[in-house]
């Protein structure tokens, strides 16, 4: 009698296991998978990460380098600049906070170095006394500034392609007129003149950037003259165009 009862219970248990195995052959508990087959198999589950182009939509931080050239416009008559040898060099850091799938906003902080190669005799015409130096070889105007920008970013397709637009404000902490010359004995020399009254204290305007991965193009336009009606002897050009290299 006992043997019959045990046999009936065994048949019921085996039938129940088979029913569950047919209904669901695999069970997952944490990192482990239990496969109800013959024989019973237990193994660790390997989860594969899938890339989704919208997985990044959190916060983005990057740094960049801008290499550009100032372009002298019709209103830039005060600076007698040799356009082919002038340059704009910027190093910056920025962070974006996404407010939607493709829109982000955020601050930017940067350091800017502008070097303007001047035409022959430009310094003397601006009031710098270079007569004692000898033969002038090259004349430069250099400015150094630090500033910030508030950016609005719109992703184009994949998130690494984007269009960025925002106002910027720079404080010019150093302005120098630099001369390279030949002395009377034929030796090379150089001299710096500093006169802060001849330079703009601040640069402000709008900057735009079009990025494709880690490279892009940028342009910035200074709007100082819209609010500063007085003439500044060494006012920098309003327009700058160049390329951007981005590190993420």
Report the percent of the chain where pLDDT is more than 90. Answer: 29
How many Å apart are CA 109 and CA 168, to the nearest integer? 9
**Which is more confidently placed, 245 or 10?**
245
Average per-residue pLDDT for the chain? 76
pLDDT at 109: 97
Instruction: Dump pLDDT digits (tens) for 20-59.
Output: 444 445 555 555 555 555 554 555 444 343 343 444 457 8
pLDDT grade for 121, boundaries at 50, 70 and 90: confident
Number of C-beta neighbours around residue 94 at 10 A:
22
DSSP character string of 121-167: THHHHTT---TTT-EEEEEEEEEEEEEEEEEEEEE-SSTTEEEEEEE
CB neighbours (10 Å) of residue 201? 15
| Domains defined for the chain, CATH in brackets | 59-247 (2.40.160)
Lowest mean pLDDT among 2-11, 166-175, 215-224, 239-248: 2-11
Residues in Cβ contact with 171 at an 8 Å cutoff, skipping those fewer than 6 apart = 145, 146, 147, 201, 202
Give the tokens for residue 48: 């594969």
Q: In the chain, helix, strand, coil percent, each to 5? A: 15, 55, 35
């Amino acid at each position: 009698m006992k043997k019959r009862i045990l046999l009936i219970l065994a048949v019921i248990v085996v039938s129940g296991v088979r029913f569950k195995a047919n209904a669901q052959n695999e069970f997952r508990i944490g990192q482990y998978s239990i496969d109800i087959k013959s024989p019973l198999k237990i193994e660790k589950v390997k989860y594969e990460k899938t890339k989704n182009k919208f997985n990044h939509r959190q916060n983005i931080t990057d740094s960049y380098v801008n290499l550009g050239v100032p372009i002298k416009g019709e209103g830039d008559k005060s600076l007698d600049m040799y356009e082919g040898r002038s340059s704009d060099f910027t190093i910056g850091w920025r962070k974006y906070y996404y407010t939607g799938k493709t829109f982000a906003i955020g601050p930017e902080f940067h350091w800017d170095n502008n070097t303007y190669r001047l035409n022959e005799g430009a310094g003397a015409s601006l009031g710098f006394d270079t007569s004692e130096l000898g033969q002038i070889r090259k004349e430069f105007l250099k400015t150094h500034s630090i500033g910030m920008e508030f950016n609005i970013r719109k992703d184009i397709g994949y998130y690494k392609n984007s269009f960025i637009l925002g106002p910027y404000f720079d404080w010019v902490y150093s302005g120098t007129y630099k001369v390279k010359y030949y002395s009377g004995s034929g030796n090379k020399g150089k001299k710096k003149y500093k006169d802060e009254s001849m330079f703009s204290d601040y640069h402000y305007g709008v900057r735009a950037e079009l990025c494709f991965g880690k490279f892009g193009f940028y342009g910035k336009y200074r709007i100082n003259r819209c609010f500063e009606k007085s003439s500044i002897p060494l006012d920098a050009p309003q327009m700058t165009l160049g390329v951007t290299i981005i590190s993420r």
